[in-house]
């Protein structure tokens, strides 16, 4: 059956009718490799901006559902319709509601020129070749997250701070003053408790303020979250049902936050503590729904069953925090986890900065660590070591010791650099 015959019969054409060996195809990576799964690619290209996303190969105009004003939706649709080339499309993002017509036109013009440059590069280069890379993490943060709801973005590196300020002044000048350069003496992770939150997000057990706790078990196919009352016995005069409901309500808030912190996605099963009353199950379900609305990743949840189970899915675009910051433990054949060598190396540098605060400049810092961590600090992470040397005005000397566990290290300050 030919291609036309396949279409008349309603059957999708075979892949051999659409592509052939040696053919060059322009594709975009839309999902990074995760665990054993490879990257997901598509030929439906999308180029994201702050206010709009350009789709050069799809004839469609979409407006964010979070823009509820009918007048604003009509304004944005007319504006996009005026500028989009035939056969292409745009998705208008939520932040565009507060953007002026001039700002949106300027961004659309930039994305149209960007697509022209990508096409021009594709014509002069042979595959495989990288034609375009999205903004790096620092600039994506301000492009996608800097809104009226965000007070400030704090950066502890002057070069990155200046880059971000220039970017914001060019594309969203009203928010330029919200990019702040951190000037504290303590590492920024210490000042804002980030180190503690990272460690907490890597733990299997998360304790609740009431005394209850959550248990996270992340597997290949799904993540299971178990809710327990622990030592929480409830307030005086409260029934067991009321105590259980209170624990589940607190757990719902914490689960939503942990899903964001841990970047958990895919299929998730939550085992709430059994509640006898349907009204209490509805109350916990609504609390979980409300907490998940703050999440940028799309989530779909089912109602709580009589056994207290909730099935939910959360969109996953990249590795979870655990897989990013940990690696299979070579001491237990993959049954446990240790911090990655890079994570330990940066932990060492942060500890050096803490201790340097009570030592005079000019001293030498002797670091003893696992040989692989030491090698990393002498090679790939040497720029970070050099930056720390400049900050504390002390030389750093790194030595490896085979007997050390990968997470163990020693730091000594000696006079006379």
| 38: in domain | yes
Query: Domain check: are 165 and 211 in the same one?
Result: no
Q: What's the token pair of residue 409?
A: 């290290």
Statement to judge: residues 277 and 361 lie in one domain: no
What digits encode the pLDDT tens for the residues 119-168? 999 899 888 899 988 888 899 888 888 877 788 999 999 999 999 999 88
Q: Pairing relation of β-strands 52-55 and 47-48?
A: antiparallel
Same domain? For 179 and 201 the reply is: no
Look at residue 154 in the predicted model and tell me its pLDDT. 94
Q: Does the reported pTM lie above 0.75?
A: no
For 325-358, write each residue's pLDDT tens digit: 877 777 765 666 778 999 999 999 999 999 998 8
Q: How far apart are CA 354 and CA 134, in angstroms?
A: 35
Number of domains forming the structure of the chain = 4
Higher-confidence residue of 17 and 301: namely: 301
Assess if residue 219 is contained within a domain.
Answer: yes
pLDDT number for residue 232: 67
Residue 180: predicted pLDDT: 93
**234 and 303: one domain?**
yes
Confidence of residue 201 (pLDDT cuts 50, 70, 90): confident
Q: 282 lies in a domain?
A: yes
Which of 87-91, 95-99, 361-365 has the largest mean confidence?
87-91
Within this chain, do residues 37 and 76 fall inside the same structural domain, yes or no? Answer: yes
Same domain for 45 and 67, yes or no, is yes
Question: Do 206 and 114 fall within a single domain?
Answer: no
**Where in the sequence is the domain holding 103, given as residue range(s)?**
23-124
On whether residue 320 sits in a domain, the answer given is: no
Q: Are residue 28 and residue 85 in the same domain, yes or no?
A: yes
Domain boundary among 124, 155, 173: 124
Q: Which is more confident, 238 or 302? A: 302
As a whole-number percent, the residues of the chain with pLDDT over 90 amount to: 46
Give yes or no: residues 108 and 176 share one domain. no
Percent of the chain past pLDDT 70, that is, above it, reads 93
Spatial distance between the Cα atoms of 247 and 280, rounded to a whole number of angstroms: 12
* 303 and 370 within one domain: no
The H or E element spanning position 64 is none
Written as six digits, the tokens of 219 are 């597997």
Is 267 in a helix, a strand, or coil? strand
What is the tally of helices (H) and strands (E) in the chain?
14, 19
169 and 201 inside one domain:
no
- The mean of the pLDDT values for the chain is 87
The CATH number assigned to the domain holding 217 equals 3.40.630
285 in a domain, yes or no?
yes
Does 109 share its domain with 213?
A: no
Whether residue 235 is predicted with pLDDT greater than 80 in this model: the reply is no
pLDDT at residue 3 in the model = 47
């Amino acid at each position: 059956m030919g291609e036309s015959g396949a279409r008349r019969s309603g059957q999708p054409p075979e892949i051999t009718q659409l592509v052939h060996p040696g053919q060059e195809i322009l594709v975009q990576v839309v999902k990074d490799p995760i665990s054993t799964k490879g990257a997901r690619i598509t030929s439906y290209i999308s180029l994201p901006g702050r206010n709009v996303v350009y789709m050069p190969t799809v004839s469609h105009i979409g407006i964010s559902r979070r823009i509820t004003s009918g007048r604003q939706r009509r304004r944005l649709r007319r504006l996009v319709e005026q500028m989009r080339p035939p056969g292409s499309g745009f998705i208008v993002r939520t932040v565009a509601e507060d953007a002026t017509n001039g700002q949106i036109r300027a961004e659309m013009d930039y994305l149209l020129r960007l697509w022209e440059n990508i096409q021009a590069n594709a014509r002069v280069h042979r595959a495989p070749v990288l034609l375009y890379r999205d903004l790096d993490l620092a600039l994506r943060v301000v492009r996608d997250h800097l809104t009226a709801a965000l007070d400030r973005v704090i950066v502890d590196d002057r070069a990155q701070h200046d880059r971000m300020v220039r970017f914001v002044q060019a594309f969203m000048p009203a928010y330029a003053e919200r990019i702040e350069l951190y000037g504290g003496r303590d590492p920024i992770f210490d000042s804002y408790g980030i180190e503690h939150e990272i460690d907490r997000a890597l733990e299997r057990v998360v304790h609740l303020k009431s005394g209850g706790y959550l248990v996270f078990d992340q597997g290949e196919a799904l993540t299971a979250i178990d809710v327990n009352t622990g030592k929480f016995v409830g307030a005086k005069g409260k029934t067991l049902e009321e105590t259980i409901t209170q624990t589940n309500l607190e757990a719902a808030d914490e689960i939503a936050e942990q899903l964001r912190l841990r970047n958990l996605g895919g299929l998730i099963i939550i085992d709430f503590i059994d509640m006898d009353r349907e009204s209490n199950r509805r109350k916990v379900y609504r609390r979980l729904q409300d907490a998940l609305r703050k999440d940028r990743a799309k989530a779909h949840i089912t109602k709580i069953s009589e056994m207290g189970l909730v099935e939910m899915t959360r969109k996953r675009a990249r590795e979870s925090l655990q897989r990013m910051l940990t690696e299979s433990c070579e001491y237990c054949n993959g049954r446990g986890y240790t911090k990655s060598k890079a994570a330990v190396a940066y932990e060492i540098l942060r500890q050096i900065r803490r201790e340097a605060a009570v030592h005079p400049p000019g001293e030498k810092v002797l670091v003893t660590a696992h040989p692989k961590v030491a090698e990393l600090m002498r090679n790939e992470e040497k720029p970070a070591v050099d930056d720390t040397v400049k900050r504390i005005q002390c030389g750093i000397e790194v030595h490896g010791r085979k007997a050390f566990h990968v997470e163990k290290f020693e730091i000594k300050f000696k006079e006379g650099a």
